[in-house]
Amino acid sequence: MKRRRVSILQFDERAIAALRVRFTEPGIEVLGYERARGPWPSLEDALKTFVTAHGIGDDVVFTVLPRHEVTARILELPSNSPADIESIVQLNAEEFVPYPLDELVVSHGVLDEGPSGARVLAVFAHHDVVDAHLRLLAGAGLEPQAVYLSTACLASAAIAARGDEDECAVVNLASSAVEAVVLSAGRLAYERGAPTPLDWESEAEAAEAIEKLAAETRVSLDAYERDAARPGKIRRLLVCSDGADVGTACTALGPALGLDVSPARFTERIASRAVAGEKPFSAVLLGAALTAQGRGAVAVDLTPGALLRARRRARTAWTLALCVSLVALFVVGLAGLYVQAARQRADYARELEARISSIEADAERVAAQEARLEVLRRRLSRHDSPLELLARVCETAPASGLNLTLFCYKRGHGITIEGRAVNRTMVTEFAEALRQSGGFPQARDVHSKLISERQREVVEYTIAIDFADETARPRRGRAYE
């Protein structure tokens, strides 16, 4: 999927500037730098016209707040825990600004961390300042993803371009302010922003403007050297601007300050592709793009907490709605699959019923023929005559001690054998021998009792042999009475 364009906006009564970029794996691809100069009767109308003319409404938007509209301090804190840092900065807010905490937007960026604590840039902005900035953007149909601080963005651009080079100062000629940062060992050591009535695009080469710029720069450098207790350590000064040509100013500032002064070329080192034929664009906006990409060395976000909470609620509601929609689609899909499966089963059942109906008559005829053939097969397989059966019974009977007095054969029912034996054991062994012979598996001793015959006790017995023939006719009485 094609990445969306990102626009970084900075504006005031004198100028509106927008850097348009696209985030890539190697870094930042610059798509364009647009700038309009004021003043205008209405900044809101001018901003709306600017956004419409350059099609910024479809971009992901970030914005930059001028340093001179907020209060910022670099603090040494005794902890490097994010929760502790946030609590300490908020608790000390009223020491730096004359407003209660609930009227402030408080943020911070970690500059350096050590085992015993951290250095942070703490920023305190009044709600009215931030809200007025956001209202102007809302009037142009924009809602920025974040609100950054100009000097923090300037420091991020300078650190990204210079790395850990020697200690130096960077001065940015903004449209209505002079902003200065000092870098030491690749970290922000000092920052300051002061408003100015000068229009640098038209007055940067004027002697009076250069004199005022030199004085303002000296104030910033003296303040840093005093706070750091390192007088005279700054030897190099880099100058950049949002729209002015700083070549003449650099030439004049060198002798006035006694420093090595040159134009800053940060944008050429950071951007993966600059727009051909364009003048160098704002280092502040490029630093904001680095911060938006997550690569800014000094990240300070002044987006109000209420707006962040509203966005979280909106994202939660969107996620919930998406989940509900997915569940609904899943249920609808299951219902569709069930209906389709039910229809398929019904169609298959009807098809089977039709097949059964077509072959049912033939199946009944085939079954009747099979039954008749089975009866015939069993009749043919049972070819023994009553005499043959009697002979096999006699062969199985013991040679002495047992006699047969009755052999009753009933076709399709069974055989009944009666006789006398000297004892019951012989009767039991005779019945077992019949079963083991293979021809009479149903033989069983059904009756035996002692009787007296010729003044001697003998056993009168009855053995029944049923035919296991499922096709035989049902008997209407017992086999033998």
- Please tell me the least confidently modeled range out of 75-84, 190-199, 210-219, 465-474: 465-474
Cβ-Cβ contacts under 8 Å for 204 (sequence gap 6 or more): 173, 210, 241, 244, 245, 246, 248, 249
Tell me which of 31-45, 130-144, 301-315, 321-335 is least confident. Answer: 301-315
Residue with token string 């003043």: 39
Q: Give pLDDT tens digits for 294-332.
A: 888 899 999 988 787 777 787 788 888 889 889 999 999
Q: Work out the pLDDT band at 471, boundaries 50, 70, 90.
A: very low
Q: What is the mean pLDDT of residues 52-72?
A: 91
Kindly tell me if the per-residue pLDDT of 474 is higher than 50.
no
pLDDT tier at 1, thresholds 50, 70, 90: very low
Q: Give me the percent of the chain exceeding a pLDDT of 70.
A: 91
* pLDDT score of 186: 84
Q: In the block, which residue shows the tokens 């001697």?
A: 456
Q: Tell me, what's the pLDDT at 164?
A: 65
- The confidence score (pLDDT) of residue 49 equals 92
Which spans in 382-442 are helix H? 386-396, 424-436
- CATH classification of 6-303 is 3.30.70.890, yes or no? no
Query: What average pLDDT does the segment 60-82 reach?
Result: 91
The pLDDT-based confidence of 481 (bands split at 50, 70, 90) is: very low
Residue 204 has pLDDT above 60, yes or no: no
Residues contacting residue 175 through CB under 8 Å, at least 6 positions apart: 12, 14, 15, 17, 199, 200, 201, 242, 243
236-252 pLDDT, tens per residue? 888 888 877 788 788 88
> pTM of the prediction?
0.65
What's the confidence (pLDDT) of residue 51?
Answer: 92
Q: pLDDT at residue 277 above 70? A: no
Cis bond upstream, residue 197 (ω within 30): no
pLDDT surpassing 80 at residue 446: yes
**Is residue 316 within a helix (H) or strand (E), and if so which, with residue range?**
helix 305-381
Average pLDDT over residues 422-429: 90
Triad 419, 421, 427: Cα angle to 5°: 90
| Reported confidence tier of residue 288, pLDDT bands at 50, 70, 90 | very high
Handedness of CA 395, 398, 399, 401 (dihedral sign): negative
Alpha-carbon distance of 11 to 136, in angstroms, equals 10
Domain extent listing, the chain? 6-303, 306-381, 386-466
Q: Which residue has the higher pLDDT, 376 or 323?
A: 323
DSSP letters along 339-363, please?
HHHHHHHHHHHHHHHHHHHHHHHHH
Q: Please tell me the distance from the alpha carbon of residue 265 to that of residue 161, in angstroms, as a whole number.
A: 8
- Model confidence at 203, pLDDT cuts 50, 70, 90, reads low
Task: Confirm if 139 and 154 have CB atoms less than 8 A apart.
Answer: no
Matching CATH topology for 6-303 and 386-466?
no
Lowest-confidence segment of 143-157, 193-207, 354-368, 407-421 by average pLDDT: 193-207
Is 90 exceeded by the pLDDT of residue 355?
no
pLDDT at 25 over 90: no
| pLDDT exceeds cutoff 90 at 174 | no
The predicted model gives 335-352 an average pLDDT of: 89
pLDDT grade, residue 46 (50/70/90)?
very high
CATH of domain 386-466: 3.30.1360
Cβ 151 vs Cβ 221: under 8 Å: no
